Structure 1
Amino acid sequence: MTTWFHSWRAAVRIARRDAWRFKGRSFLVLAMIALPILGVSALDLTVRSAELTPAQRMDRTLGAADARFTDAQMGGAAILQDPAGERNTPAGDYDSPGKSWPEGPTDVTKAIPAGSKVLTDSNGTAKLTTAHGLLQTEVRELAAADPVARGIMRLREGRFPEKNDEIAATTRFLESSGLSVGSTLTARGFDRTYVISGSYELPSDLTTEQVNALPGAFLAPYAKAVEKAGLPKPSISTSYLVKRAGGFTWNTVQVINAKGVVVTSRLVVLDPPADSDVPLYQKNDWVNYENGGGTDAAALAAVATVVGLAMLEICLLAGPAFAVGARRSRRQLGLVGANGGARSHIRAIVLSGGLVIGVAAALVGIVLALILTFALRPFLEDHMGQRFGGFTVRPLELLAIAALAVLTGLLSAIIPAVTASRQTVLASLTGRRGVRRSNRVLPLIGFGAVLLGAAVALYGSVVSDRSVLVSGGSAVAELGVVAMTPALVGLFGRAGRWLPLSPRLALRDAVRNRGRTAPAVAAVLAAIAGTVAVSAYAASRDAQSQAEYRATLPYGAGAALVTEEGGRDVPAVRDAVQRTLPVDVRADVSRVAVGKPGCDPYGEGEGCGYYEVVTPPGNECPLWADTPDGSDPAEKYTDEQRRALTKDWRCRSRDGHGIHVDNGLVIADAPLLKVLGIDDPGAAKALAAGKLVSFSKPQVDKNGAVGIRLISDPEAADRARERNKPIPGEVKSFPAYQVPGSPDSYGVQSVLSPAAAKAAGLITVPLGAVFSTDRMPSTEQRQKLDAEIAKLGSDVELTLERGWVDENGLVLLALTVFAGLVTIGAAGIATGLAQADAEADLKTLAAVGAPPRVRRILSGFQCGVVAAMGVVLGSAAGFLPAVGLRLTEGREQMRSYQEALDRGWTDAGDVAPHVPIVVPWETLAALMVAVPLGAALLAALLTRSGGALSRRAAH
Structure 2
Amino acid sequence: MSVAVLEKPAAPGGGMPARRAVLRWAWRMFRREWRQQSIVLGLLAVAVAVTTVGLGVAANAPSDASRFGTANYILTVPGDQVDGLRATFGTIDVIRHGAKIPAPGSTGGFDRRDQDPTGPYGRSMLRLDAGRWPQGATEVAVTDQVAEAFGLHVGDAWEQRTVTGLVENPLDLHDEFVLGQVAEPDHVDVLVRSTEDKVLGNPQAGASVQGRFGDAGTSSILVLALATIGLVFAGLMAAAGFTVLAQRRLRALGMLGAIGASHRHVRLVLLADGLVIGAAGALTGAAVGVAAWIAFSPRLEEPLAHRIDRFQLPWTPLLVAVGMAIVTAVVAAWWPARAAARTPVVAALAARPAPPRPAHRFAALGAMLLVAGLAALWQSEHSRKWLILIGILATAVALLLLAPVAVAAIGTLASHLPLASRLALRDLARYRARSGAALAAIGLAVGIAATIALTAGVTVAKAAAPTGGNVPANEVIVWLSPDRMNGTIPVLTAAQLADKRAQVDALAAELHAESVLTLTGAAMADMPLDHGGRAVVVLGIPEPAPGRPGMTGYSDEKTVPVFVATPELSTHYGLSPAAGTDVLTRKANLDGYDLIHRKRGAWDPVLQPAALPDYTSTPTVLLTEEGLTRLGLTAMPVGWLLQAPGALTAAQIDRAQQSAAAAGFGVESRPTGADEARLAVWATTSGVAVALGVLAMTVGLIRSETARDLRTLTAAGARRRTRRAITAATAGALALGGAVIGTACVYLALLAWYRHEVHWLAHPPIPELTAILVGLPLVAYAGGWLLAGREARVIARQPLD
Shared fold by TM > 0.5?
yes
Q: Corresponding residue for 2:488?
A: none
Deviations 1:394-414 (A, max 9, x none): 766554443322221111011
Cα contact 1:446–1:483 (8 A) shared by 2: yes
1:183, 1:71 → 2: CA distance?
A: 34
1:901 aligned residue: none
Mapped to 2, the partners of 1:207 and 1:26 lie a distance apart of 48
SS for the counterpart of 2:754 is helix
Q: How far apart in 1 are the matches of 2:117 and 2:764?
A: 62
Q: What aligned pairs does 1:453-532 form with structure 2 within 5 A after superposition?
A: 453=369, 482-483=400-401, 485-500=403-418, 502-529=420-447, 531-532=449-450
In the other structure, the counterpart of 2:483 is: none
Instruction: Give the aligned partner of residue 268 of structure 2.
Output: 348
Aligned to 2:523: none
Q: Which residue of 2 aligns with 1:13?
A: 24
SS in 2 for 1:200: strand
- Specify the alignment match of 1:870 in structure 2: 738
- Please identify, of 12-21 and 514-523, the stretch whose mean Cα deviation from structure 2 is larger: 12-21
**Contact map agreement 1:533 1:880 (CA 8 A) in 2:** no
d(CA) in 2 for partners of 1:76, 1:139: 20
Q: CA deviation at 1:859?
A: 3.0
CA RMSD of aligned residues (A): 6.0
Deviation at 1:873, TM superposition (A): 2.3
Q: 1:782 to 1:514 in 2, by over 3 A?
A: closer
1:347 Cα deviation after fit: 1.9
Change (3 A) 1:237 1:9: farther
1:419 aligned counterpart, secondary structure:
helix
| 8 Å contact kept, 1:323–1:833 | no
1:666-745 equivalent positions in 2, closer than 5 A? none
Match of 1:29 among 40, 50, 70: 40
Partner of 2:168: 201
| Alpha-carbon spacing, 1:438–1:808, altered in 2? closer, same or farther (3 Å) | same
User: In structure 1, what residue type is equivalent to 2:468?
Assistant: Y
Amino acid at match of 2:171: S
Write the distance in 2 (CA, Å) between the matches of 1:802 and 1:633: 32
- The whole-number CA distance in structure 1 between the counterparts of 2:127 and 2:456 is 44
Match of residue 236 from structure 2:
316
SS at match of 1:128: coil
| Secondary structure class of the residue paired with 2:793 | coil
> What residue identity is the alignment partner of 1:862?
T
- 1:77 to 1:355, Cα distance in 2 relative to 1, 3 A: closer
Structure 2 letter corresponding to 1:555: N
Instruction: Report the secondary structure of 2:239's partner residue.
Output: helix
Residue 128 (structure 2) aligned to one of 148, 152, 155: 155
Shift of 1:948: 0.7
- 1:929 matched to 2:771? The reply is no
> Match for 2:127: what amino acid?
R
Match of residue 711 from structure 2? 843
Output the amino acid matched with 2:46. Answer: L
Amino acid at match of 2:702: A
Residue of structure 2 in register with 1:330 after alignment: 250
Question: In the aligned structure 2, how far is the partner of 1:333 from the partner of 1:925?
Answer: 46
Q: Retained in 1: the 8 A contact 2:267–2:340?
A: yes
Gaps of 5+ in 1: 88-107, 109-118, 187-191, 221-235, 240-261, 593-603, 636-644, 665-698, 700-708, 710-716, 728-746, 749-766, 891-912
Residue 880 (structure 1) shift: 2.4
> Which whole-Å CA distance do the structure 2 matches of 1:53 and 1:821 have between them?
40
Q: Distance in 2 between matches of 1:787 and 1:164?
A: 40
Alignment of 1:747-762 (within 5 A): none
Task: Give the aligned partner of residue 559 of structure 2.
Answer: none
Q: Is the 8 A contact 2:138 2:162 kept in 1?
A: yes
CA contact (8 A) 1:624 1:634 kept: no
One-letter amino acid matched to 1:237:
D
- Deviation track 1:205-226 (CA, whole Å, cap 9, x = no partner) reads 1222x2536557xx99xxxxxx
1:945 aligns with 2:790: yes
Q: CA deviation at 1:19?
A: 3.2
Q: Is the CA contact 2:271–2:330 (under 8 Å) kept in the aligned structure 1?
A: yes
Aligned partners of 2:667 and 2:799: how far apart in 1? 83
1:555 aligns to 2:474 (yes or no): yes
**What is the CA deviation profile of residues 407-454 of structure 1, one whole-angstrom value per residue up to 9, with x for unaligned ones?**
2111101122123334455554554x26x53323xx333343355456
Displacement, 1:357? 0.6
Shift of the 13–57 alpha-carbon distance from structure 1 to 2, 3 Å rule, reads: farther
CA apart distance, 1:865: 1.8
Task: For structure 2, list consecutive stretches of 5 or more residues without a partner in the other structure.
Answer: 1-10, 481-491, 521-531, 534-563, 586-599
CA change 1:942–1:264 in 2 (3 A) is: same
For 1:409, the equivalent position in structure 2 comes to 329
| Alpha-carbon distance in structure 2 between the residues aligned to 1:16 and 1:842 | 31
Matches within 5 A, 1:380-395: 380-388=300-308, 391-392=311-312
- The reply to whether residue 374 of structure 1 matches residue 294 of structure 2 is yes
In the alignment, the residues of structure 1 paired with residue 76 and residue 284 of structure 2 have an alpha-carbon distance, to the nearest angstrom, of 51
Deviation, structure 1 residue 510: 1.8
1:124 aligned partner, one-letter code: K
What's the TM-score once normalised by structure 1's chain length? 0.59
**2:4 corresponds to:** none
Task: Give the 3 Å change call, closer, same or farther, for CA 79–554 of structure 1 in structure 2.
Answer: same
1:926–1:198 distance in 2 versus 1, CA, 3 Å: farther
Question: Are residues 68 and 838 of structure 1, via their aligned partners in 2, closer, same or farther at CA, if it must alter by over 3 Å?
Answer: closer
Deviations 1:48-88 (A, max 9, x none): 6789999x9998999xxxx999644698996799959999x
2:107/2:496 contact within 8 Å kept: no
Within 1, Cα distance between the matches of 2:799 and 2:380?
A: 66
Distance 1:332 1:820, change over 3 A: same
Identity of aligned residues (%): 21
Contact 1:120-1:238 at 8 Å conserved across structures: yes
Segment of structure 1 superposing worse, 339-348 or 652-661:
652-661
Tell me the SS of whatever aligns to 2:306: coil
1:28 maps to amino acid: I
Question: In 1, distance between residues paired with 2:83 and 2:141?
Answer: 37
Could you tell me which residue of structure 1 aligns to residue 557 of structure 2?
Answer: none
Q: Could you tell me how far apart the structure 1 residues matched to 2:133 and 2:647 are?
A: 51
Cα distance between partner residues in 2 of 1:290 and 1:197: 34
Alignment-mate amino acid for residue 103 of structure 2:
K
Deviation at 1:355, TM superposition (A): 0.9
Aligned-partner residue type, residue 370 of structure 1: V
CA contact (8 A) 2:114 2:181 kept: yes
Superposed CA offset, 1:756-777 (max 9, x none) = xxxxxxxxxxx99967579967
Aligned: 1:122 with 2:95: no
SS class of match (1:379)? helix
Would the alpha carbon gap of residues 775 and 482 (structure 1) be closer, same or farther in structure 2, given more than 3 Å must change? closer
Match of 1:861 among 729, 739, 742: 729
Letter in 2 for 1:931: L
The two structures have a TM-score, normalised by structure 2, of 0.68
Name the larger-Rg structure.
1
Counterpart Cα distance in 2 of 1:450 and 1:402: 27
d(CA) in 2 for partners of 1:207, 1:19:
53
